[in-house]
């Protein structure tokens, strides 16, 4: 009987390897060979699944986004009503989340002047916006929230994350959380 190849599993493994390599070396510095070495497979295997660097980048971004979404779902279930805890899952508070953030930042840079990547970004943000609007509507203080609350939170998270990713020494986890907390408290007033 021929060995069954689990293509989804392999694709996921390669996407995670791409995350690690892009976070470490940046997009310009990342090569198919590095990703292969990280995944413990051949370069041919990587290029079999991903035709070019853009595809690899999108896959890496997908892996990072799935990881965030899983954590958010879990935290939302474990700590209902704790909006800051939920949002904190998408801030670069530890090594894992810093790595995801470095992939996001590399992706944004690559999306400038690249319509396909810019559409990918817009699609992901539309989902985030929708999810966040649902979470906000369930807050006990939802009535007080202005219509742009979801955007306020999203731009705050992205602003804090961007600063923290480049100046981690200025932005320890406590400071990121304090800023996020201030933004959420301001929403309630």
| Chosen residue from 36, 59, 63, 107 binding a copy of itself by CB under 8 A | 107
- Least separation in angstroms between CB 2 and a copy of itself: 40
Stretch that binds a copy of itself, among 1-9, 40-48, 87-95, 114-122 (CB under 8 A): 114-122
- The CB-of-17 to a copy of itself minimum distance in angstroms stands at 15
Quote the CA–CA distance of 39 and 157 in Å, as a whole number. Answer: 31
Q: What are phi and psi of 83, to 5 degrees?
A: -60, -40
Q: Does 189 bind a copy of itself (CB under 8 A)?
A: yes
Site track for a copy of itself across 131-160, x = CB under 8 A: ---------------x-x--xx-xxxxxxx
State how far the Cα of 18 lies from the Cα of 22, in Å rounded to an integer. 6
For a copy of itself, the binding residues in 5-44 under the rule CB under 8 A are: 22-30
Angle between helix 149-166 and helix 115-137 axes, rounded to 10 deg: 120
Beta-carbon-side half-sphere exposure of residue 105 (alpha carbons within 13 Å): 22
**Which of 33, 82, 125, 188 contacts a copy of itself by CB under 8 A?**
125
Kindly state whether residue 112 participates in binding a copy of itself, applying the rule CB under 8 A: yes
Residue matched to tokens 């009535």: 143
Query: Which one of residues 69, 114, 139, 181 is an interface residue with a copy of itself (CB under 8 A)?
Result: 114
Pairwise CA distance, residues 130 & 150, whole Å: 9
3-state secondary structure of 121: helix
Task: Using CA atoms of 100, 104, 162, 34 in order, give the dihedral in degrees to the nearest 10.
Answer: 70
Tell me: does residue 47 bind a copy of itself (CB under 8 A). no
Cβ pair 100, 161 in contact under 8 A: no
Instruction: Catalog residues that contact a copy of itself under the rule CB under 8 A.
Output: 22-30, 102, 105-114, 118, 121-122, 125, 146, 148, 151-152, 154-160, 162-163, 165-167, 175, 178-179, 182, 186, 189
């Amino acid at each position: 009987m021929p060995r069954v190849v689990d293509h989804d599993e392999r694709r996921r493994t390669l996407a995670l390897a791409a995350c690690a390599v892009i976070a470490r070396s940046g997009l310009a510095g990342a090569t198919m060979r590095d990703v292969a070495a990280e995944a413990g497979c051949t370069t041919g295997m990587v290029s079999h699944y991903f035709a070019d660097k853009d595809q690899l980048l999108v896959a890496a971004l997908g892996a990072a986004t799935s990881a965030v979404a899983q954590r958010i779902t879990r935290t939302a279930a474990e700590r209902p009503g704790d909006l800051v805890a939920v949002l904190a899952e998408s801030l670069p508070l530890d090594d894992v989340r810093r790595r995801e953030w470095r992939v996001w930042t590399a992706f944004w840079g690559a999306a400038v002047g690249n319509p396909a990547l810019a559409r990918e970004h817009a699609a992901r943000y539309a989902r985030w916006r929708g999810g966040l609007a649902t979470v906000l509507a369930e807050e006990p203080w939802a009535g007080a929230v202005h219509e742009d609350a979801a955007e306020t939170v999203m731009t705050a998270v992205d602003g804090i994350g961007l600063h923290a990713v480049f100046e981690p020494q200025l932005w320890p986890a406590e400071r990121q959380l304090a800023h996020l907390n201030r933004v959420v408290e301001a929403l309630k007033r």
